[in-house]
Amino acid sequence: MNSRAILTIARKDIIDAVRNLYILFGLLLPIGLSLFLSFVFPDEGEMLKLTIAVYDPGGSRLVTELQTLSQVTLRQVASEQLLSDEVKKNAVGGLAIPVGFDTALQAGEKPELGAYVNRRRGGGEIAAFQQLVDQQVWSLVDQEAPARVVWTDVGTSAGFQGEFRFQRIMLVMFLVMALGMTGTFMVPTLLVEEKEKHTLDSLLISPAGPKEIAAGKALTGMSYSLLCAGVLIAMNKGWVGNWPITFVTLVLGSLFVVMVGLLMGSLFQNAHQVNTWSSIILLVLIAPSWIGLVGPATLLEVFLRLIPTYYMTHAMGLSLAGKATFALVWGDMAILVGCIAVVFIAVVWAIKREGK
């Protein structure tokens, strides 16, 4: 490939994208939504008064720390059953602190901390409660995630075990949306504009062939995708968990959606077609990120596995939760790489066809 031609195309498109208000709106929309939700769901319980039930037979320092917070009202109970009942009726959440919890923390043993929530109370209070728990547990020991918090929902008949991280789910959803908006709105628009201005034919007979054109447009899309993703991560404190895996997943995910955008731009002939189909394709691409919001749905998940962004969402969710290793998510990444290669071949073929 001609690297100089690729950089020239990318530099021109990066400038053109900022001048296009339609493209600029698409890039800023996920960031704007994230800002809006940051006001709706306050950070770390700073704006909400939280009533928290506590079962603490061992006299943990965690309870002492919570009592010093002005926005927290503690209700201590005598058993875990009473704790569950209190969360169902009056409290946003509850903590079951085992005997010897502080000693285990100091020894680096990562003890289990039981946390109860009632999802029927709404996402804002729960998000504030969860962040408050994380903040206070981490403050006990100068170590990230020193305890294993086991979340239980008492608002449903069966309940669930595991983490319910509303803000983490929303961050994954916004990241996928940001990448999808770039891939389905910006990238195809840049390529279609070349057709409408009749500059694509000139590019094809220049030192920049189909591969260079595809690579240059992809570099532009990748630049804006990763820029938007970086802003969202900074706004939502998304640097937690396994950061290298998060970065690799974002790179592969952005490259895939950019390739999808290039294929759209190669097949479409005008901006009207892009505007008509972009929203539909975007909804398909971001659908896998909704699975954490709608809850477990086996049949739905089977269909979502057919969408490559499902594997980006899966790897990113594990990574942000600190549960991902390369051995665990290599299958997700391999599928993304394979899809990128297939779509890139299709893009080069489609651009070559334009030159005939």
Distances 293 to 55, 81, 123, 288 between C-alpha atoms, Å: 29, 28, 11, 10
Instruction: Identify which of 247, 267, 260 has the alpha carbon closest to the alpha carbon of residue 326.
Output: 247
**φ/ψ (deg, to 5) at 149:** -90, 120
Dist CA 82 CA 139 (whole Å): 27
Confidence at residue 44, expressed as pLDDT on a 0 to 100 scale: 44
Contact between 98 and 111 (Cβ < 8 Å): yes
Confidence at residue 163, expressed as pLDDT on a 0 to 100 scale: 47
Q: Per mean pLDDT, which range of 80-84, 112-116, 205-209, 304-308 is the poorest?
A: 205-209
Is pLDDT above 70 for 80? yes
Contact between 129 and 92 (Cβ < 8 Å): yes
Dist CA 296 CA 173 (whole Å): 16
Confidence at residue 45, expressed as pLDDT on a 0 to 100 scale: 41
Question: Under 8 Å CB-to-CB from 133, ≥6 apart: which residues?
Answer: 93, 95, 113, 115, 149
Confidence at residue 337, expressed as pLDDT on a 0 to 100 scale: 94
Average pLDDT in the chain: 80
| Check whether domain 43-153 has CATH 3.40.1710.10, yes or no | yes
Confidence at residue 248, expressed as pLDDT on a 0 to 100 scale: 92
Both ends of the chain: CA-CA distance in Å?
Answer: 21
In terms of pLDDT, which residue wins out, 49 or 284?
A: 284
SS3 355: coil
Residue type, 251: V
CA 173 to chain centre: 5
- In eight-state DSSP terms, residue 97 is P
* Ranges of each domain in the chain: 3-38+166-354, 43-153
CA 184 to chain centre: 18
